[in-house]
Amino acid sequence: MSMNMRSNIIHPDYRLVCDWGARSQTAQEIAHDVMRFSQRLLDACPQFGAWHYLGPRDKLMPLPDTVDEVRLKVLSPGNGARRGAAPDLILPVGFSAFLLTSKKIDAACWMAHTGSDGGGLGSRVAINCPRRGDLAQTMTEPDMMERLFRVMVEVWQPEWATVSHTDMSDPEPASPVHWMLYGREPLPPGLVLPEGVEVHGLTGASGEVLAPGQYVVTTPGERFVYSAPEHKARCEALKRVLREAGWLPPAPQA
């Protein structure tokens, strides 16, 4: 297949998301995490090229190369205050960041809202894949998607993480069990999963634990497509097993 033909392929909206609860952090700590995650993503997938933030009048600006500049220019206080938080500032509502590769239709982006101390607010980081183009092809290759998923879990240490997409034929789109699902707690012992589903821990090359818990992959070595009958049947069977075992993310609050 030619590069021109590949660039015109349109995929569903694949999305990587991780969530966790109360975890107070200072603006400086969050800025450090934003810098670290951005670099880890580039290391895992050089095709991202570079990360940018939106400056005044939504001008595309390159991600700064110091933690102080990220704190001052990229972080947005969750209370609606202007950027430029003091390094030791802690907000009950946390801070947000939004980074993207470009403003083009084939751009990738990631966003975070972290540092909340609770009060009904949690923390979330999400990576949105482009729908078309060479970067969409690269990001949705099975090996690359799993690599990005592992990086996200390792850096943010969430309670839950998913790889899903916005295929509206899912009867429960708000509670997806699609391509990959991570839980901070290990799966119950002796749990029998549907045939073909793989379970992995997060360990490094030397066997060190990078994050607690385990994750499942519904279509190992194959791009997940919810509308494919065999993929849909497998993830729905997996959801039933995990629901009975009490190993599913909590349903979103109305």
One domain for residues 38 and 82:
yes
Q: Is residue 127, in this structure, part of any structural domain at all?
A: yes
Residues 98 and 104: their CA atoms lie apart, in Å, by 15
One domain for residues 121 and 168:
no
Which residue segment(s) compose the domain that 121 sits in?
Answer: 21-131
One domain for residues 97 and 173:
no
User: Helix crossing, 142-156 with 27-44: angle to 10°?
Assistant: 160
Q: Is residue 4, in this structure, part of any structural domain at all?
A: no
Provide the β-strand partners of residue 124.
19, 113
One domain for residues 107 and 46:
yes
Per-residue pLDDT of the chain (254 residues; tens, 9 = 90+): 333 333 445 556 899 999 999 899 999 999 999 999 999 999 999 999 999 999 999 999 999 999 999 999 999 999 899 999 999 999 999 999 999 999 998 999 999 999 988 665 789 999 999 988 999 999 999 999 999 999 999 999 999 999 987 766 777 777 789 999 999 999 999 999 999 999 999 998 888 999 999 999 999 999 998 888 999 999 999 999 999 999 999 876 54
Tell me the pTM. Answer: 0.92
User: How many domains is the chain built from?
Assistant: 2
